[in-house]
Amino acid sequence: MSTSVAPRPEESMTAWRWPLDLARYNRRPALTRREVAALARRARYPQRLGHWTPLFHDELGRLTRPVTDALDCLQIRHRLRGEVQRLVTHELHRWQSTYWAWSEDTWHTIIGTSRLHFEALADGPQCRAAIVAVALLLQRPIAVPRLGRFDRVALAYRLFGRTRVDAALDRILRALVDWGYAPTSPRYTSLRMTLCEVFLTIQSPCLEQISIEVLLGLRTATSSHKRLRGDLLRLSRALVGLGLITSPLNPWATKRPGTSPSPTVQSVRTSPLTLTPRSCRSGARSSSGGAPRRPCRLRREPPITRNS
């Protein structure tokens, strides 16, 4: 998916709400006997899995309707739409349960850790970005940090609208100026990606719904990504400037709250040194009043070796 996604005509800056009303769908986790039979019949013709006929809609309407509504909302059509439908049908038959029942691990088993991994697992379909967007729109348990290399910005534009995402980013950039950052920071692109990662995690484009716990969780999940960690720190400072959280992230902390805190002061090097008495300091005179003794030095003990 490219980041050049055009904003939707009906998009406005009014109060945002989730595009689909999930309460109107039948989300019973188990398949009925009729649904199992329909999937088994369709599985006999793998080349027809992506072609959802009126009969197929009649037999599995409670499972096809949410997917088609999500595809319509995301404006996914033609070949890509057929590939998504094919994958959903295949996985429904494979797992013998509805996608409402699939756990986070099941979803990540399906979508893989990268585009190439997904295409190898799915045996050809190039629809990873589309199936992830559909799953997130249906509020399925997708852990964004587990997606690997993925265009977060394009996905956030698809789900929340480009206007809202860019407006939130402008608020963040203006708040960062008060912290002393340059108005035109070269890290604009990475900060936008980080903000989209946060939005996808909380499933909302509203800065007011970002909590310090969300930022802490993302920083822990992405501990090996230095640039993302730096952008999360800047984002937390901007949120403090906007009055949305009370304190920014600790730039030195590396663990979640509740775990043993990392030391704030660098520990002293504990090498095996032998200290001399206080009387041996430089300039100290002997008890007989003679010349001052030579300054004492720390003596390094020989390393302890285990007898063979």
Q: List the pLDDT tens digit at each of the 308 positions of the chain.
A: 444 444 444 444 567 889 999 999 999 999 999 999 999 998 888 888 888 989 889 999 999 999 999 999 999 888 889 999 999 999 999 999 999 999 999 999 999 888 888 878 766 567 888 999 999 999 999 998 888 888 889 999 989 999 999 999 999 999 988 888 876 655 678 899 999 999 999 999 999 999 999 999 988 887 656 777 888 999 999 999 999 999 999 887 655 444 444 433 333 333 343 444 444 444 445 445 555 555 555 455 455 455 54
Give residue limits of the domains in the chain: 22-138, 156-241
Q: What is the DSSP string of 133-183?
A: HHHHHTT----GGGG-S--HHHHHHHHH-HHHHHHHHHHHHHHHHHTT--S
Residues 6+ apart with CB under 8 A from 275: 298
pTM assigned to the model: 0.72
Classify burial at 221, counting beta carbons within 10 Å of its beta carbon; exposed 0-12, middle 13-18, buried 19 or more. Answer: middle
Task: Name the residue with tokens 């349960």.
Answer: 97
Enter the tokens of residue 302. 């020989």
Q: What is the DSSP string of 78-137?
A: HHHHHHHHHHHHHHHHHHTS-TTS--HHHHHHHH-SSHHHHHHHHTS---HHHHHHHHHH
